[in-house]
Amino acid sequence: EPEVTQTPSHQVTQMGQEVILRCVPISNHLYFYWYRQILGQKVEFLVSFYNNEISEKSEIFDDQFSVERPDGSNFTLKIRSTKLEDSAMYFCASGTRLADEQYFGPGTRLTVT
């Protein structure tokens, strides 16, 4: 069964460094999402992406964040200058239709020291 994959599973970085989190969505999916979950807290929406552009973004998704689909298969989340409070689990998801089921990847645990 096709699944969403994410790399790396765990990323440790120093404050101020740039990180790129990678995701490979399910191949026939058209809608892509990033969510984050700070330990012990709710899952929060970051951004949705469709037709090579951002559809929606939350207040969390400020100028430090960007997303790209560089080659038609990968979907990346870049954080330009990480802060301690960016430490969280980051989930990528993809789906075939708006408002319908989103399939999640296993997540990338980002630790900012």
Q: Which of 13, 22, 78, 104 binds another protein (CB under 8 A)?
A: 104
User: Under the criterion CB under 8 A, does residue 49 sit at the interface with another protein?
Assistant: no
What is the nearest approach in angstroms of another protein to the Cβ of residue 20? 20
> DSSP string spanning 13-54?
E-TT--EEEEEE--TT--EEEEEEE-TTS-EEEEEEEETTEE
Instruction: Verify binding: residue 103, another protein, rule CB under 8 A.
Output: yes
CB of 16 to another protein, least distance (A): 26
Cβ(107)–Cβ(89) under 8 Å?
yes
Shortest distance (Å) from residue 19 CB to another protein: 18
Longest dimension (CA), the chain: 39
Tell which residue, 84, 90, 85, has the closest CA to residue 109.
Answer: 90
Q: Which is nearer to another protein, 39 or 70 (CB)?
A: 39
Single-letter residue type at 99: A
Binding residues (CB under 8 A) for another protein: these are: 31, 33, 35, 37, 41-45, 48, 55-56, 58, 89, 91, 93, 98-107, 109
